[in-house]
A and B are shown apart, each in its own frame.
Chain A
Amino acid sequence: MSDTATGAPPGHSSDGELPPAQLAAKYGLTQSGARPTLPGYVRQLWDRRHFILAFSQAKLTAQYSQAKLGQLWQVATPLLNAAVYFMIFGIILGARDGVPGGKHNYVPFLVIGVFIFTFTQQSVMTGVRSITGNLGLVRALHFPRASLPISFSLQQLQQLLFSMIVLLVILLGFQEWPTWRWFLVLPALALQFVFNIGLAMMFARMGSKTPDLAQLMPFVLRTLMYASGVMFPLHAMLTKNTSAPTWVADVLQANPVSVYMDLMRFSLIGDYSIHDIAPHAWWLALGWALLFGVLGFVYFWKAEERYGRG
């Protein structure tokens, strides 16, 4: 190195003998496709925020563009689901009885449950496919790959916001009048959104390595649906109608999906009191969001340079 400093003849003749690594170092070239640092990664993502938003909106628009009813399906699908559950669980299996405040709250209870569960469910399902389903994009353009799972979760959030309009109509129809407590919807949704992003990023990395997960996830998610009390009051059902020990009901009630669902019901249904949902529900909601948000992000970032291979 010192002979460069003491005046080796200028020109590329001396460069030709340098090994590639040293030549690269000399001219400040960096390794292509190397993983950025964690703060650097966050900065890159922030720079791409407009792309993330535009991509999620584009996906949302493109989703039903071939259907005649178009965007209407965004809310029709969860509503039809709710109608099926109402028949089976509400009427035939009698799940209406344990709902806080009585039978007349069952429809809002059910619709909130279905909407909130769909939000997490779809974030996971699109998350699993977010890398494998967009390999063309990953292999053609340079962008922080976390943009994809985040974008898909954002798409689901926008979809949920559409559904909230329908929910509002249903609430008013069942004589739930707006109160100040309705504003609690905002922190509850924000926390669930962070939780969903973390989960989506986790599954995005796993799905990129094992595409078979996309086939397996519907079953895992259906189990989660029954274990979270989407269409029946979980705690009441388990403690009154079955011989399951109380701690099982307590544990199930503390699972993240159940917590976010109960917080929404608590915020929107007047008959709900804080005792009807899991103890320390807000702290649980915050904890789940932080845990999954941070873990999911770091886990996804660790494999950043490997997405798109194979």
Chain B
Amino acid sequence: MAVAEQGAIEDSKPAGEKIPTVICDDLHIVYRVFGGGGRGSATAALNRIIKRQPSPRMREVHAVRGVSFTAYRGEAIGLIGTNGSGKSTLLKAVAGLLPPEKGKVYTDGQPSLLGVNAALMNDLTGERNVILGGLAMGMSKEQVRERYQGIVDFSGINEKGDFITLPMRTYSSGMAARLRFSIAAAKDHDVLMIDEALATGDKKFQKRSEARIRELRKEAGTVFLVSHNNKSIRDTCDRVLWLEKGELVMDGPTDEVLKAYEKETGK
């Protein structure tokens, strides 16, 4: 029985079938925020702790409300929506970084979020940050060593002198952003998610990073891209999800959704 089913799947693959890589099923994400609004005396707070009541100062933010979609191999999906519409939260949930309140996310392999910012330390040299960032993304020691020079060259940090051996806090914001992107883009991914990464650095670097993202798309099964730049969505994506207030407003081909979005936002 199991074997027969297996056979059926194998047979159907060559016929141009769409293979799902990410399935989102009625996903809800809720943030709990401490100290957001509300007032109360210290004794009231103590009383609540003793009685095990939830704090009124703990507010719940329902960031994603019942989003369902299926992404297939080879797709590049853009996520659009106004600020605070839940785009980044949705990506983090797909990456398995935020636990869902309700609903489920199924993925093929481990999706990775293009972002190492959090692992880097401003007090360390660029050199050590490259190594630390690579290891934090799950690269092996050998991989990091192999790709080290490539990362430094790609970032162009050393074009104006030996800056890679200086602490990162001495970098200009553009330089730091370039290094961060270079580290993040150095890894191969199955399902890749990019959060506003294209708006980094000068024109020259932007061109280079767009080329790198196209390369990553070829290697990756599926690419998600969050951006407020409709042009870069048009250039890279064939399908767009439009989120508003945590709900999926529209899901369809890029042109169709962008047209509706632009009409709505009055651009």
Contact = CB atoms under 8 A, between A and B. Distances in A.
B193 to A, nearest CB: 11
B31 interface: yes
B1 A5 contact: yes
B20 A140 contact: no
Nearest to A139: B97
Contacts of B119: 55, 137, 140-141
A24 B110 CA distance: 14
11 contacts: A1-B5, A4-B5, A11-B17, A29-B22, A32-B105, A55-B135, A58-B124, A66-B123, A141-B137, A211-B34, A309-B99
A15 B132 CA distance: 42
Label chain B's interface by main secondary structure. Answer: mixed
A1 to B, nearest CB: 7
Contact of A143 (B32, B33, B123, B138): B138
Given A23-B70, A55-B135, A141-B97, 13 more contacts: A4-B5, A8-B8, A12-B18, A27-B108, A48-B135, A50-B141, A137-B136, A139-B92, A140-B117, A141-B116, A141-B137, A141-B138, A142-B97
A39 interface: no
A64 B121 CA distance: 13
A50 B116 contact: no
B25 A140 contact: no
Most B CB within 10 A of own CB, among A15, A21, A140: A140
Contacts of B122: 62
B227 interface: no
Nearest to A35: B99
Contact of A140 (B93, B113, B167): B113
A136 B99 contact: no
A309 B100 CA distance: 9
A33 interface: yes
A62 B119 CA distance: 13
Nearest to B34: A211
B117 A136 contact: yes
Interface in B1-46: 1, 4-5, 7-9, 11-12, 15-25, 31-34
Given A12-B18, A142-B110, A21 B104 contact: yes
Nearest to B68: A20
Nearest to A29: B106
B126 interface: no
Given A66-B123, A310-B31, A54 B108 contact: no
Contact of B107 (A26, A29, A308): A29
How many interface residues does chain A have, given as a range?
35 or more
B105 to A, nearest CB: 4
Given A20-B23, A138-B97, A140-B115, A28 B16 contact: no
Contacts of A50: 135, 140-141
B98 A58 contact: no
B8 A7 contact: yes
A140 B24 CA distance: 19
The 9 closest A-B pairs by CB, nearest first: A33-B96, A310-B32, A10-B12, A24-B106, A136-B118, A32-B96, A20-B25, A62-B123, A29-B106
B128 interface: yes
Contacts of B32: 309-310
Contacts of B108: 27-30
Interface string A26-48: 11111111100000000000011
Interface in B207-260: none
Given A29-B21, A32-B107, A308 B99 contact: yes
B5 A5 contact: yes
A140 B34 CA distance: 20
Nearest to A12: B18
Contact of A23 (B20, B99, B112, B132): B20
